[in-house]
Structure 1
Amino acid sequence: MSQPLEGTFSAEHSARLLRQYRYVVERTMRALGGWIALTPELSAKLLMGRHVWDLAQHCDAFGQRLPELRSHAQVSEAANPAVATFMDSLEDAEGPDQTVERLVGVYVVLKPHLLATYRDHLAHANPVYEPPTRRILARCIDDEERHIAAGDTILKYLAAGPRVIDRVSARRRHLDGLLAAAGGVTGAGLPMREALDVAVGQAELVGQAELSDDGREFIRLERATGAWPIPADLEKAQRSFADALVAGDDTALARLLVPGLELETTAWALLRGTSYSHHVTVAFARLGHQRLVKTRLDGPSSSATVLARWVSSPEGWRIAALDVAGRDGVRPA
């Protein structure tokens, strides 16, 4: 089939689209990079870290293409104020207990939309005089398919239980509404859903689907850290501490504090009275002569992450500081 030489897009229109893509991708790249330090789950950290680099490459490719379209290089542009509002809302999930909200925003709402938008653009870009743009879009499409599959896998792994599923649904509805109100990242409306034929694009977050290779790798690495290199005597003290947290045993907790540290002055006051049924050690680090241990508590209606700073003493390991790194209660759908 012959192709019209004039094509669908003028150089000015193509440049505007690339600036709009670059705006969203650049903000997503920066958000993922900032979230890595805030995210306690190793699998999600690895997911974000790997994809930050890809998004940086997308930004650079869009930016370098702009001068060839008679536009300034490396410039980003929001299609309209509503797109900026959507991105603001996507980025606001900064709590240590909001990993699921972060993943939903990027991998369930934004990236599938970007994938559909790129595919729609590629379908209309003239192959006679727009091969550079088409090559950039093809590379972005390949990466976004891989990103969505990996994100879907990690979200399935983390979003277990009806309480978390409700959070997923609420977050998706909120961001979907903002994205639709903006008319998508270009302001021209949302692409047809048929453009999203990536294998996991239409899968339910908690459905049964084959895990992507990236996701499997990240989950294996997270699970491999189950055997934490904690000294045996500290491990015993940590287990007693976590058991006391679950039991709500003030006396047992107080015995594990360094002399002079009162239980009432610690973050325990934020947790007292909450029902927890299970604990797991999720992080361990050495800081000079001190040891930092992070414990996740889970219960029927809430969860919390507790950070304890342990020091060795003649009486054994004792807690010198106790903080709550994050709490997660039931959130309305």
Structure 2
Amino acid sequence: MAEPLEGTFSAEHSARLLRNYRYVVERTMRALGGWIALTPELSAKLLMGRHVWDLAQQCDAFGQRLPELRSRAHVSEAANPAVATFMDSLEDAEEPDQTVERLVGVYGVLKPHLLATYRDHLARANPVYEPPTRRILARCIDDEERHIAAGETILQYLAAGPRPTERVSARRRHLEGLLAAAGGVTGDGLATRDALDVARRQTDLSDDAQEFIRLEKATGTWPVPDDLEEAQRSFAAALVAGDAAALARWLAPGLELEATAWSSLRGARYSRHLTVAFARLGHQRLLKTRLEGPSSSATVLARWTSSPEGWRIAALDVAGRDAVRPA
């Protein structure tokens, strides 16, 4: 007959597991917080913002539990170097057009693994002398179920179409391979992932992914004045065509084309343009345009000001450039 005080984990082993959990949760929290500014899609921004707070609470709970297990408080520890490599790879999706890569890494690979790991730990944690750890794990399980359900909904919305689906599959295979090579976040092997029917889970209002999507769709039509929209369209077409004379006519008096970011764009081949952001700054308007070509892309930020002759550009900068990834 099993003794009620017998348990799977010693205090030292439990502390090590909590340090391992805290390591990946802390890094995920920081990654999500940093990605918010890089992510253009509103639905994904809201998703990440909601979950950063939950992860901060998890980190704090793990950290406060450690002294009770005769370990230093608030210490994070990678189980092995391969776990650090996995997290490095998960965090490397830092380009504005890599939102689906960010989401599949966190919500399609890491969090389902954490959920299975927490469930396995909870099932084996002794109910007599480990109630504090069990309560923390139960809270984390609840968080991860909500996070996965919301994350998968946003991912399916943003990854519609064959090319995004291929990117999701490639990213998932890559990260799952690294995670398996690390032996999971604890280094002890991958916990069995039962059929996790979390996609249909009733979520709290704060995690209502469908509401995030509705908010994103509601802001799909930007309040760009008609005359500015026409000027922006003509200006962007001149950028794609590489027509310096046409570009110069949109510059405000006193601004020379050679003194702008045009010098870094000249010579590149672009085939299409897309307005990706609009903002009001006092009497001026900021418009961000993405230029896409066969071998490279660029994001251009123009500050427009109204004049007696119509809208003119007071400042022109390149916000980012990158090479197009092979399909």
What TM-score, normalized to structure 1? 0.85
Of 311, 318, 321 in structure 2, the residue corresponding to residue 317 of structure 1 is 311
Q: Match for residue 281 of structure 2?
A: 287
1:78 aligns with 2:78: yes
Displacement of 1:172 in angstroms is 1.6
Structure 1 stretches of 5 or more lacking a match? 202-211
* Residue in 1 that maps onto 2:174: 174
Distance 1:117 1:51 in 2: 19
Asked if structure 1 preserves the Cα contact closer than 8 Å seen for 2:180 and 2:190, the reply is yes
Shift in Å, 1:40: 1.6
Cα distance in structure 2, aligned partners of 1:124 and 1:170? 34
Report whether the alignment pairs 1:223 with 2:222. no
How far, CA to CA, are the matches of 1:330 and 1:224 in structure 2?
30
Q: Where do residues 126-275 of structure 1 align in structure 2 (5 Å cutoff)?
A: 126-194=126-194, 196-200=195-199, 214-244=208-238, 252-258=246-252, 259-262=255-258, 265-269=262-266, 272-275=268-271
Of the structure 1 ranges 289-298 and 141-150, higher mean CA displacement relative to structure 2 is found in 289-298
2:57 corresponds in structure 1 to 57
Distance 1:249 1:149 in 2: 48
Distance of aligned partners of 1:297 and 1:260 in 2 relative to their CA distance in 1, 3 Å threshold:
closer
Paired residues of 2:147 and 2:207 also in contact (CA < 8 A): no
Q: 1:161 to 1:3 in 2, by over 3 A?
A: farther
Residues 153/254 of structure 1: CA separation in 2 closer, same or farther (3 Å cut): farther
Query: Secondary structure of the equivalent of 1:197?
Result: coil
Deviates more, 1:302-311 or 1:156-165: 302-311
Q: Which amino acid aligns with 1:265?
A: W
- Cα offset, 1:255, TM superposition: 3.1
Contact persistence 2:261–2:317 (CA under 8 A): no
Q: Which blocks of at least 5 consecutive residues in structure 2 are unaligned?
A: 201-205
User: Deviation at 1:124?
Assistant: 0.8
Mapped contact 2:107–2:147 kept (Cα < 8 A): yes
Higher mean Cα deviation, 2-11 or 105-114? Answer: 2-11
Query: Is the 8 Å Cα contact of residues 305 and 327 (structure 1) preserved in structure 2?
Result: no
* 1:126 Cα deviation after fit: 1.2
Distance 1:115 1:91, change over 3 A: same
2:117 is aligned to: 117
TM-score (norm 2): 0.86
Secondary structure of the 2:208 match is helix
Change in 2 beyond 3 A, CA 1:148/1:3: farther
